[in-house]
Structure 1
Amino acid sequence: MPDDRRAIAGAGQAIGRGACAGAREGCGQGVTATIRRAVPDDVAVLVELGTSTFVETFGHLYSAADLQAFLGESHSPDAYAKTLANPDYALWIAERDGNAIGYAQAGPCGLPHADVRHGDGELKRLYLRQSEQNGGVGRALMDAAMQWLERDGPRPLWISVWSENHGAQRFYARHGFEFAGEYEFPVGEQRDREFMFRRLPRDA
């Protein structure tokens, strides 16, 4: 898997909770971070980052049992190792001063929507530490994932977002995504209302 490391100065869930966990109104702009493609040796980093950002952002919504069940399934070392080994998926880690501060994950769309077609892509996760919100990192991760998803040309892209994460919804709307439907997202025994957003190719 190529390294694909580059420095970006705030340009311009299946497998996990909807995208933009820990990301609010703009996902920020203006501060340089290093965005690199994740590799198999990053499993431990991704487990810590995915677990801590999910708990930081959503942990208060769930019982301890539901939270542990979800984290054990979706943010386990085995889950990340399998994703990293699958060439249809890609993950990126954002770092500053050698510390992991956020990550993104993209791959084939797995959302339960009647209009999803083979070949559609999905931004599956966009996670940031709360201390890094509004600093440009979310936008940089988003750009890296979108470029990879459209590496073979434009195609329909999808994102799912928790219904109460209004800041993330505004962020994606500014990137051309439009509301397309909703479904129930399981976290242990709890079911959350999740919104699906889609961006069609400009010539569609």
Structure 2
Amino acid sequence: MIRVRKISLADLEKLQDISSKTFMETFESLNTKENMDNYVRKSFNLQQLESELNNYYSEFYFAELDTQVVGYLKINFGTAQTEIKENKGMEIERIYVLNSYQKKRVGQLLFEKAISSAKEKGCNYVWLGVWEKNTKAQHFYKKNGFVEFDQHIFVLGNDKQTDLMMKLEI
């Protein structure tokens, strides 16, 4: 049985491990090794992750099977949101699941945790950005009621990529 739990600084190294692994699994086949390595080194180093964990307006959750971390979620409220910084909105910045645990409802459990957190905080909507080439994730979010409302640029190394911005009214 998969368990979803909020994480703390004591989980920092596990967070770094799952962040790096899932990001590489998801995107390495569509990007250069150099861009991937640079992004992982910059975004998932211990200092960066510690800063994110210490942000009052961000929360991280692990999906665990027994003691193994198989996925994670990062949500942002208020000023921690990367773009729309309205108090009535919440950002799902990351939902990642190890490839070997996909299609086993792990992502759905993490998504449901995000929605319950948004409701607890009195948010009216949830938004996110998803890479235009990540059709699997787009399908997941559309299946869960998200609709596209805009686009933004996501920089991976020296590659400017287009993210679709999607929103779900709750």
| TM-score, normalised relative to structure 1 | 0.77
- 2:111 pairs, out of 142, 146, 150, with 142
Do the aligned residues in 2 keep the contact of 1:107 with 1:149 (CA within 8 Å)? no
Aligned to 1:110: 82
Show CA shifts across 1:86-145 (max 9, x none). Answer: 11110000111211100000003323xxxx352121000001000000101111111111
Do the aligned residues in 2 keep the contact of 1:123 with 1:158 (CA within 8 Å)? yes
Q: How does 1:130-169 map to 2 (within 5 A)?
A: 130-169=99-138
Aligned to 2:56: 87
Do the aligned residues in 1 keep the contact of 2:126 with 2:168 (CA within 8 Å)? yes
Do the aligned residues in 2 keep the contact of 1:65 with 1:188 (CA within 8 Å)? yes
Q: How does 1:1-204 map to 2 (within 5 A)?
A: 32-108=1-77, 109-111=81-83, 116-119=84-87, 120-201=89-170
Amino acid aligned to 2:86: H
The CA RMSD over aligned residues, in Å, is 1.4
Aligned to 1:18: none
Amino acid aligned to 1:81: E
Amino acid aligned to 2:137: A
Q: How far apart are the structure 2 equivalents of 1:78 and 1:173?
A: 34
Stretches of structure 1 that go unaligned for 5 or more consecutive residues are 1-31
Deviation, 1:61, is 2.3
Q: How far apart are the structure 2 equivalents of 1:92 and 1:168?
A: 19
* Greater strand fraction, Structure 1 or Structure 2: 2
Stretches of structure 2 that go unaligned for 5 or more consecutive residues are none
% identical equivalent positions: 24
Show CA shifts across 1:62-105 (max 9, x none). Answer: 22321122111111111111111111110000111211100000
Do the aligned residues in 1 keep the contact of 2:129 with 2:165 (CA within 8 Å)? yes
Aligned length, in residue pairs: 166
Structure 2 residue matching 1:198: 3-state secondary structure? strand
Q: Which runs of 4+ in 1 moved over 3 A?
A: none
Inter-CA distance 86–64: structure 2 relative to 1 (3 Å threshold): same
